[in-house]
Amino acid sequence: MAKWDKEYLKLCKKILTEGIEVENRTGINTIKIPGYNFMFDLSEEFPFLTTKQLYYKAAIKELMWIYQVQSNDVRWLQERNVHIWDEWEVDEDGIYRIYYPEGKVPENAPSETKVYYNTGITGTDGREIMELMYVTKSGKVYKESDPKRPASAKPMTTTATQKAQESGRVLRSARYFGPEYAHTIGHAYGYTVNFYKLLDRCINLINACKIDPTISDGRRNIICLWQENDIKDAVLKPCVFCSEWDVTDGKLNATVHQRSCDVPLGLPFNVTQYSVLLYLLAHITGLEPGTLNWSIKDAHIYKNQVEGIEEQLSRQDEIDRGEREDIPAPELWIDPEIKCMDDIDNRELSNVKVLKYRHHGPIKFPLAQ
């Protein structure tokens, strides 16, 4: 069994046996533990789950969306048949809509929902202060606090989109971003990498540390996706929000910080993505891959994901008893002709491939919005 499978399932067991059930913004309770860390030696094994199928092409394409094309436009992913971010896409009216999870719709759910704007200010109750939006008959939009708001302007409301009506979904809340944010996830991820030139700086520092390992900035090589000036304009605040990069003894190492971790859905994707990124940056800068250190603040499993995790744990038990095949981890192949991130084929992944990947079949986990 792959080492990552063992480490991952160890975390799952710990959450199920020691975790605390808590409420959260999605309406579906989680079982969580505070704080968890693990480390991989990428020179020994490519961390990749085999006890369930991982749709790795989608994971790598999302990685390219963030760090190669450095985009926040969801359509780029959709053109490549990746729909990870569909639920968080701002619509053409500049509104981000959140729906009640299946089976959690209250009987008194309103047919119309007021639209709010995030002020970026945290109140004394620890919640972000939201400001009601107003709209005139001509369609001009105002914030509630705007002194120029005419008395004739009415609170902005929205009903479920046609797609939602067809699927029977009910709108829970709506947040205003503006038409200029249409089809994006707001100021997050690839937007942040591009705006602050975070990857360019990271690669420059890696190359500088190869020449002179003693430079002070070698210990300041940080890609931080959590930028206070922009975070209020993000549909979903970055879960993996920071990575630190280190060059030691000819090897490239990274430490990744994750504030919130959906263990069944997010973690397998995230670990694969940052492993691939480390391999790629090591390849581009002429270094060997070293260690990937991972730190999680809030590791959780949603209650409606428990059955799937139990199925995955049972597969491990069957492997241990010799009733299932013990499948080793696959390998990552990077075309030697790749000299920079722009050289990567982000549509077909013809020059970045996962080889010898076998698994024990898919397990479907529901998504909490």
List the one residue out of 103, 94, 98, 101 whose CA is nearest residue 113. 98
> pLDDT digits over 104-118, tens only?
777 777 777 889 999
Does 369 or 214 have the greater pLDDT score? 214
Instruction: Over range 208-218, report the average pLDDT.
Output: 89
Q: Where are the beta strands (DSSP E) in the chain?
A: 20-22, 30-41, 95-99, 113-122, 128-135, 141-143, 154-155, 157-158, 171-176, 222-224, 240-248, 251-262, 288-302, 331-334, 352-355
Q: Which of 202, 224, 239, 261 is catalytic?
A: 239
> pLDDT digits over 278-330, tens only?
999 999 999 999 999 999 999 999 999 999 999 999 999 999 999 999 999 99
Can you identify the CATH homologous superfamily of domain 3-86+185-355?
Thymidylate synthase/dCMP hydroxymethylase domain (3.30.572.10)
Instruction: Over range 137-164, report the average pLDDT.
Output: 83
How many angstroms separate the CA atoms of 62 and 56, rounded? 10
pLDDT of residue 168: 62
pLDDT of residue 111: 72
Q: Are 319 and 325 in contact (CB under 8 A)?
A: yes
Instruction: Over range 354-363, report the average pLDDT.
Output: 97
Instruction: Over range 46-75, report the average pLDDT.
Output: 97
Task: Classify 298 as helix, strand or coil.
Answer: strand
Give the start-to-end residue ranges of the domains of the chain: 3-86+185-355, 90-181
> pLDDT digits over 150-163, tens only?
999 999 987 644 44
pLDDT of residue 125: 86
Q: What is the pTM of this model?
A: 0.92
Q: What is the DSSP letter of 329?
A: P
Tokens of 277: 């990124």
To the query of whether residue 242 is one of the catalytic residues in this protein, the response is no
Task: Classify 212 as helix, strand or coil.
Answer: coil
